[in-house]
């Protein structure tokens, strides 16, 4: 397990992890939505992107079978998971439940 990844998700600030791939069309649609989520929530959330092709071990650990898959962590625990593209308001609502 990647220790820097462990440090990031151990944060008390919710951490949204976007597992994506360069070749994935829906992933490209999700990227600007996540940017808007970050703009709206600012420092209340951390958003990190994990390329599944470059980080297959991490993708396997979290059983990411399709991209995009978003996982939300708080205090090192996974509190939410969703595959596919969601809209900004849906993602913001989920994160706000964990602030």
**Residues annotated catalytic, as ranges:** 24, 27
For residues 25 and 21, give the distance between their C-alpha atoms in angstroms, rounded to a whole number.
Answer: 9
3 state DSSP class of 11: coil
DSSP collapsed to 3 states, 44-83? HCEEEEEECCCCHHHHHHCCCCCCCEEEEEECCEEEEEEE
Sign of CA dihedral 10, 47, 98, 87: negative
């Amino acid at each position: 397990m990647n220790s820097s990844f462990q440090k990031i998700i151990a944060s008390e600030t919710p951490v949204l992890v976007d597992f994506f791939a360069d070749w994935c069309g829906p992933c490209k649609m999700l990227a600007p939505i996540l940017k808007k989520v970050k703009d709206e929530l600012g420092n209340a959330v951390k958003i990190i992107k994990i390329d599944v092709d470059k980080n297959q071990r991490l993708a396997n650990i979290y059983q990411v079978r399709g991209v995009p898959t978003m996982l939300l962590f708080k205090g090192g625990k996974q509190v939410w998971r969703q595959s596919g593209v969601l809209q900004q308001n849906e993602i913001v609502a989920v994160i706000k439940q964990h602030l």
